[in-house]
Amino acid sequence: MEPLVSIITTTHNIVEKGQADDFSLLVTLLDMQTYPNIEHIIIDNASTDDTVVLLKDYKNKGYIQFYSEPDTGKFNAFNKGILRAKGKYISFISCDDFYHDITAITDLVNLMEAENADFSFSPSYCRHSEGFVFLFTPAMHNAFQVMPCPRQCMFFKKSVLEKENYFDEKFRLLSDYDMIIRLMMKKYKPVYFNQNYTTYKVGEKVTANPQAEHNEAKAIFFKNYRSLYPLNEELLERMVRLSDFPKELLDKLVTMFPEEDKDLFYERCEQMHQLRLNVAQQQTQQ
């Protein structure tokens, strides 16, 4: 029998926020997946509008399981979902995102099983808040500098998330990025699924709080890299703003990749640094 897959979605007052149609699309397309063994778990943050009524209707029709209780943020809710999930593999998709390829989960699980992978990553479509859509191609060789791909196009072994003690809830915006760094630094096995199956929307909290995002990235770098290289506030600022990493730190991070990727790692890190540097210079000239 095919291993169970758990899809975890968080909700909060989605009727009031005008997200009910988006949620309906997510549920409908997930139900159309060709993979036969999926559970869809909704963790609702004690909604006060008609969201719970909507969720009860979907539950009664057999589409979802849901739990409605107060939480302290998205990653607290994700952790609650992991605890309740019964699947071998878990993915986290927001209420206004969806899987547009209904055969993808079948192909993805087959690949992860064949490769004995701990997590997967894929290209995806990103819907920007300004109305345009672009293709997000994963950049895993830049993962220690920037978020390499959205969590919506990743699947994780539940056992790995448990072993790593779940998402770090002190990071309210970028805990998924912290998780990716941790998995890569401990050399869990990734697999690239070369199929675009996800359409996701840029998180409003992240775009509305660029300084908070910036500060969290510094804290994540400090948490994960401080044992590898002495870090101070000035250096962390350069690392986050300009992707400017000390060579000695890169020399340690490169060991997290296969030996044959060493030159590519340094090349991609330098490209990211130059890209960030050019953007900063342009902003200064404006």
**Per-residue pLDDT, 210:** 87
**Per-residue pLDDT, 161:** 98
Orientation angle between helical segments 175-185 and 210-225, nearest 10 degrees: 20
Each residue's pLDDT tens digit, 115-124: 999 999 999 9
168 pLDDT band, cuts 50/70/90, is very high
**Per-residue pLDDT, 209:** 79
Portion of the chain with pLDDT greater than 90, in percent? 92
| Residue of higher predicted confidence among 175 and 283 | 175
Per-chain mean pLDDT for the chain = 95
**Per-residue pLDDT, 78:** 98
Looking up tokens 């909700």 gives 11
Q: Give yes or no: residues 154 and 257 share one domain.
A: no
- Residue 195 confidence (pLDDT) above 70: yes
- Residue 170 confidence (pLDDT) above 90: yes
Q: Give yes or no: residues 278 and 172 share one domain.
A: no
Q: Give yes or no: residues 124 and 236 share one domain.
A: no
**Per-residue pLDDT, 206:** 61
Each residue's pLDDT tens digit, 18-44: 999 999 999 999 999 999 999 999 999
Q: By C-alpha distance, which of 98, 106, 94, 95 is closest to 38?
A: 106
Q: Give yes or no: residues 22 and 105 share one domain.
A: yes
The CATH number of the domain holding residue 12 is 3.90.550.10
Q: How many other C-beta atoms can be found within 10 angstroms of the C-beta atom of residue 267?
A: 11
- Residue 69 confidence (pLDDT) above 90: yes
**216 in any annotated domain:** no
- Residue 221 confidence (pLDDT) above 90: yes
Terminus-to-terminus CA distance in the chain, angstroms? 60
**Per-residue pLDDT, 207:** 66
Q: Give yes or no: residues 17 and 147 share one domain.
A: yes
Q: Give yes or no: residues 16 and 85 share one domain.
A: yes
Each residue's pLDDT tens digit, 229-239: 999 999 999 99
- Residue 157 confidence (pLDDT) above 90: yes
| Residue of higher predicted confidence among 170 and 283 | 170
202 pLDDT band, cuts 50/70/90, is confident
Q: Which two tokens stand for residue 83?
A: 């605890």
Q: By C-alpha distance, which of 24, 73, 15, 22 is closest to 49?
A: 15
Q: By C-alpha distance, which of 139, 142, 175 is closest to 245?
A: 142
**220 in any annotated domain:** no
- Residue 286 confidence (pLDDT) above 80: no
Q: Which residues constitute the domain of residue 284? A: 226-286
User: Of the residues 209, 240, 258, which one is the last residue of a structural domain?
Assistant: 209
Q: What's the mean pLDDT in 262-282? A: 94
CA 38 to chain centre: 19
- Residue 162 confidence (pLDDT) above 70: yes
**217 in any annotated domain:** no
- Residue 172 confidence (pLDDT) above 90: yes
- Residue 282 confidence (pLDDT) above 90: no
Q: How many domains, the chain? A: 2
